[in-house]
Structure 1
Amino acid sequence: MPKAYDSVTKHLLELEPERWVELLELSGDEAEAVDSDLSTIAPQADKVIKVKGERPYILHIEFQSSYEPDMAERFMVYNTLIGYRTKLPVRTVVFLLRRKADGTVMKRPFQKRYENGEPYHTFQFRVVRLWEEPVERYLEGGLSTIPLAPLCAVKPKDLPAVLHRMKERIDAEGGDEGTLWMATYLLMGVRHKSSVVDRLLKGVRKMKDSKTYQAIIEEGRVEGVAIGEARGEARGERNLILLIGGKRFGEPSTATLAQLEAIAIPAELERLAARLLEVESWSELLKGV
């Protein structure tokens, strides 16, 4: 099932693919994000990066926030299919966004075995546990990797300082500000309570007509349409509300879902979407509807 952060992490890989190669200290001359063209076979595979050079290869990056016993096997399938399509060797790197994503299958190579237990296929992949990563590496790296900084080895009391340094860099160097802050918002929500994220990021979206706020809403709308399978404007707006509202207020009740489903006018749903970062609960959002 798609996660709230799937869309923005793919955008981050597209922004500066070469910076991800540098972050992982891999070799290569140039890098470009490419479509893996696996939509009909492996629709949830993340973006892949083609690294050019004397020995070209594919860098396949995945982001995980929860533990799934079969995920190593799934990554092996993606790796094999991408290699088959591109005719290049494929390196798979998995970024674990929080400790809950770690587990047995992340601690050793994945093996396929015969019925007698003898291994006949071994799949090697690299695991990056963000909570063990030094924050300076991400603060000083590429802009496209900076949204991961708050998930690194940072004490809660140091988060405001980390975000301040992020803001200084983003303001100074420009780039796709909307995508960077949208990614920061959603990625921080993986590990921290929505009330904490809202408080910490209040300074970068204090005006609802700001560039950053509008970018957050627009990115969420794109994600909402994708989750809603693009079944019309109203469905896209409704899924936007469920996407970001779920991150902020928790899962909606059956009554809340019914109330949202009863709203068929896109303009009314858009009005609710515009208030998502101004209210503190589902009941407050839907008050007067």
Structure 2
Amino acid sequence: MDQPADDYDTPWKDAVMRYFREFMAFYFPQAHDTIDWRQPPSFLDQELAQVVRDARLGRRRLDKLVRVTGRDGEARTLYIHIEIQRSRERDFAERIFTYHYRLYDRFHSPVSTLVILADPNPGWRPDCYRYDTHGCETSIIFPVVKLLDFWPHLDRLLTSHNVFALLTAAHLMTLRTRGQDQQRFEFKAMLTALLYERDWNAQRVLDLFNVLDWMMKIPGHLQDRLAERIDELNRSKEMPFENLMMKMAREKARKEGLQEGREEGREQGREEGRRAVVHKLLQLRFGPLPQHAEQFLAQAQPAELTALEDKILLAASLGELIQPKH
């Protein structure tokens, strides 16, 4: 059966609205520092929708328009247009230009257009639009953050306490595991475990788990396994919201597992694929592996790989999992 379609629209939108200050601090720190955060931002969905209709550009589900207050002496009102683009688009830069001038025309106030490129194409990096006619030049240059650029820094994402570091890691892992259910399950379980390690309140953990769960689709029988690991985490961390977390995970399993569960006996990957997943997870948790660990993994039998998969997220050290031979 086909893997459930990946859905970035709603989780990204919800995360931006709930944790907008962290969004700005992580992706656009210079712009973040110009905002007076004592004044709450206002999200102008209806106003942006009107601009889109006027421009006849179609429905844009990943656009956000935010009104903020600047930190300068005049405490002036500023408008931030955020675009999270998840696929390559031929006329993307021109559309950004159209949005920009229509927003300025609507509010007669400075507008900052900030772009997140969440697409899987490394070479696609539009950051400007311009034309020159009869000596009259018009142009826009807009800041761009390419999420693919964070992949070499995955270890930093996983240790950061910014919400969007973890969500960026989830996005990258989702892209890297299309069609690889077992590997995606391991990454999703690891990210869920990291939520518990942060000193975050229960609501924030639930919010982010909902984003991860929505973004990183896995078949129902693997979702059941994730629910079991969440249960272990709840017991080990004595979390006060066990029932809700379990309800979310198990409900997801019931919805998605009606058909996938019939294929539960199907092998989810060849042995070498599982070995590579375990190797990657061990490196992410504990850093470069010593020689005795590399040798153990190279010779590990399926039962030993399964044992590592079940314990890797809860182990405090590599020594709890793999002992050197004497």
TM normalised by structure 2 equals 0.53
Q: Report if aligned partners of 1:113, 1:119 keep a CA contact under 8 Å in 2.
A: yes
Q: Which moved more, 1:61-70 or 1:83-92?
A: 83-92
Show the counterpart of 1:278: 257
User: How far has the Cα of 1:174 moved from its partner?
Assistant: 2.4
Tell me, yes or no, if structure 1 residue 83 matches structure 2 residue 104.
yes
User: How far has the Cα of 1:22 moved from its partner?
Assistant: 1.4
Q: 1:132 aligns with which of 118, 129, 149?
A: 149
Show the counterpart of 1:221: none
Read off the aligned partner of 1:140 and give its amino acid letter.
S
- CA shift in 2, pair 1:176/1:60, >3 Å: same
What is the RMSD of the two structures over their aligned residues, measured on CA atoms?
A: 4.2
Show the counterpart of 1:34: 43
Tell me, yes or no, if structure 1 residue 110 matches structure 2 residue 129.
yes
Tell me, yes or no, if structure 1 residue 14 matches structure 2 residue 17.
yes
Hey, what's the Cα distance between the residues in 1 that align with 2:21 and 2:115? Answer: 17
Hey, what's the Cα distance between the residues in 2 that align with 1:201 and 1:72? Answer: 43
Tell me, yes or no, if structure 1 residue 175 matches structure 2 residue 187.
no
Read off the aligned partner of 1:29 and give its amino acid letter.
D
List 4+ stretches of structure 1 deviating above 6 A.
Answer: 153-158, 204-207
Q: Report if aligned partners of 2:80, 2:114 keep a CA contact under 8 Å in 1.
A: yes
Tell me, yes or no, if structure 1 residue 49 matches structure 2 residue 84.
no
Read off the aligned partner of 1:35 and give its amino acid letter.
L
Which aligned pairs between 1:256-267 and structure 2 lie closer than 5 A?
none
How many residue pairs match? The answer is: 218
Which aligned pairs between 1:86-101 and structure 2 lie closer than 5 A?
86-100=107-121
Tell me, yes or no, if structure 1 residue 5 matches structure 2 residue 15.
no
Q: 1:148 aligns with which of 162, 168, 172?
A: 168
Stretches of structure 2 lacking an aligned partner (at least 5 in a row): 1-5, 53-58, 178-182, 232-241, 264-326
Q: Percent identity?
A: 18
Q: Report if aligned partners of 1:96, 1:102 keep a CA contact under 8 Å in 2.
A: no
* Alpha-carbon displacement from aligned partner over 1:124-183 (angstroms, at most 9, x marks no partner): 11221112123435752433663222235998789354442234327x422344442232
- CA shift in 2, pair 1:18/1:130, >3 Å: same
Q: 2:82 aligns with which of 53, 61, 71?
A: 61
SS at match of 1:277: helix
- CA shift in 2, pair 1:177/1:164, >3 Å: closer
User: How far has the Cα of 1:19 moved from its partner?
Assistant: 1.4
Stretches of structure 1 lacking an aligned partner (at least 5 in a row): 218-270, 285-289
Q: Report if aligned partners of 2:85, 2:115 keep a CA contact under 8 Å in 1.
A: yes
Show the counterpart of 1:202: 226
Q: Report if aligned partners of 1:147, 1:181 keep a CA contact under 8 Å in 2.
A: no
Show the counterpart of 2:195: 166
User: How far has the Cα of 1:11 moved from its partner?
Assistant: 1.5
Q: Which moved more, 1:62-71 or 1:143-152?
A: 143-152
User: How far has the Cα of 1:92 moved from its partner?
Assistant: 1.9
Hey, what's the Cα distance between the residues in 1 that align with 2:225 and 2:85? Answer: 23
Hey, what's the Cα distance between the residues in 1 that align with 2:103 and 2:110? Answer: 9
Hey, what's the Cα distance between the residues in 2 that align with 1:138 and 1:90? Answer: 33
User: How far has the Cα of 1:102 moved from its partner?
Assistant: 5.3
User: How far has the Cα of 1:280 moved from its partner?
Assistant: 4.7
SS at match of 1:94: strand
Greater Rg over alpha carbons, structure:
2
User: How far has the Cα of 1:213 moved from its partner?
Assistant: 6.6
- CA shift in 2, pair 1:18/1:91, >3 Å: same
